[in-house]
Amino acid sequence: MNKKPDNPNFLRAQAEARLGRAPSTNAHAQSSETLLHELQVHQIELEMQNEHLRETQTALEESRDRYVGLYEFAPVGYITLSRAGQIAAINLTACTLLGRERGKLLQHRFDFLVSPSDRDRWHIFFVGALKQPVQQGIELALQRGDNAQFFAHLDCLNSKADGHAQEFQIALTDISAMRLNQQLLESEERLRVATETARDAIIMLEAESGAITTWNHAAETIFGYTRDEALGQVLHDFLVPQRFREQARSGMAHFAASGEGAAVNKTSELIARHKNGNEFPIELSLSAMQIDGKWFASGIARDITQRKQTEAALINALEQNQQHLAQMRDSLEDTVKAISSIVEVRDPYTSGHQVRVAALAAAIAKQMSLPEEQVHAIYLAGVVHDLGKIQIPAEILSKPGKLNAIEFRYIKTHAQAGFDILKDIKFPWPIAQMVLQHHERLDGSGYPQGLKDGDILPEARILAVADVVEAMSSHRPYRPGLGMEAALAEIGRGSGQQFDAAVVAACCKVVRDNGMKLPE
């Protein structure tokens, strides 16, 4: 319509046109007809007004539907809060974001939708925003109906009427994806910085082609190639020495097909080739990852040239030390045997006694599975266990008859005398204490200290048994040898009382089961 339908002249002209006839010229008829004509015109005018109202109502309904559609399905959530913070209105988008039905949100406090960690911050913001009719924003962690958390940005506007806040409008936008992207970007930046500042080379390559995709600053330093020179190059063609390249290609082909390999998820030591052609050792830790269906290898490489040089120097020094220790051990053993021979020169009747005791004691120690060093220490102690007899007059040592009480007390001093001679020698083992205790007994009946059980060294317990067995089985100036079985029977009677039961059992096994013969 070109003119407003509520214009009276316009409506009348339209009604006249619709009526389609002019008023009569007869006066009486004219009066009646005029009245009828006017009624008809007014009727038509009313119909036209009604038609226009219907059109207007239809347009309003269409406009309302468009508004409701725009409001309900807007790309952001719209929420209206009262001054008390209760939800007065909320669109479908907001309901969807919050994962709740509209009926369960209306008239409920908004702050219950805020994650507990952000609730105090929201209260402070809301109270402050009610005082200022300006647009303000805040980011909060909100909770969905399933208690899942998401991050949202709230654009808020407080509308006022007569100086009092009436409505608090919120435009709600889910920024979880944006925050995730931001976190990913920050993570990528941290990874980039860590990669570039790492002291080890960090290299990544695409397995199918072997092309390098990542090459950090440390890789430039270690291998000599710049990033531009390395990226896109096939790793095994310029970092692997020629003699290893075929093996590297085969391994890479297997890795490209399966994501598996002998070096994957392991740390290996390899030989690499520098840009200048020099070969050097590296330590490589290799891991696998699959991106878009393709396998990639990520490696951390470290130049271990200095470590290898240090290891070689240490091995060489260790070998030299071992040789030196062996020489010292041989020298020590020779010295101990020389000392032992001094006693045997003064006591020819017991010649070889110390060596035989040493051999039997060492065999018992081995049978008991003692460490090799401890076995050797027991052997050396056995070789010199009677060293103290050097202070006893030869006529007592070689007396053919039975010793009297005074002479026997003199003989018993040899353990202490041997200790006094050896105590200041810095043996790597308690040799002097072994010598001092080799006549002690578990029940305290031994000498020189009358020690009992746990106070006696394990090595001395072994020497005690070996000493008795050798002494009884061998000839003495005052009697012939009693034999090995008599000696074993003697220690058997004292097992657990005078002698250590485990030592006695080991001795019997060595002699009876293993058939050990004492040296001549």
| Model confidence pLDDT, tens digit, residues 391-432 | 888 777 777 777 888 888 888 899 999 999 888 888 889 999
Pair 506, 368: CB distance under 8 Å: yes
* CA proximity to 400, closest of 349, 355, 360, 440: 349
**DSSP E strand stretches across 46-162:** 77-81, 87-90, 136-143, 149-161
pLDDT of the residue at 224: 95
Q: Which residue has the higher pLDDT, 463 or 166?
A: 463
State pTM to two decimals. Answer: 0.46
Query: Which of 165-169, 222-226, 287-291 is the least confident region?
Result: 165-169
Residue 27 pLDDT grade (very low, low, confident, very high; cuts 50, 70, 90): low
* CA proximity to 172, closest of 80, 50, 57, 108: 80
User: How far is the C-alpha of 85 from the C-alpha of 107, rounded, in Å?
Assistant: 9
Residues sharing a CB contact under 8 Å with residue 383, sequence separation 6 or more, in sequence order: 336, 337, 340, 354, 355, 358
Q: Which residue has the higher pLDDT, 362 or 14?
A: 362
Q: Residue 347 pLDDT > 70, yes or no?
A: no
Q: Which range scores top for mean pLDDT: 154-168, 185-199, 274-288, 317-331?
A: 274-288
Pair 421, 453: CB distance under 8 Å: no
CA 140 to chain centre: 34
Averaged over 359-368, what is the pLDDT?
A: 95
- Angle, vertex CA 492, rays to CA 491 and CA 495, nearest 5: 85
* CA proximity to 380, closest of 325, 345, 338: 338
Q: Residue 287 pLDDT > 70, yes or no?
A: yes
The identity of residue 226, as a single letter, is T
Q: 3-state SS of the chain: helix, strand, coil percent to 5?
A: 55, 20, 25
pLDDT of the residue at 502: 95
Query: Which of 88-102, 469-483, 486-500 is the least confident region?
Result: 469-483
Nearest-10 Cα torsion for 351, 353, 356, 358: -120
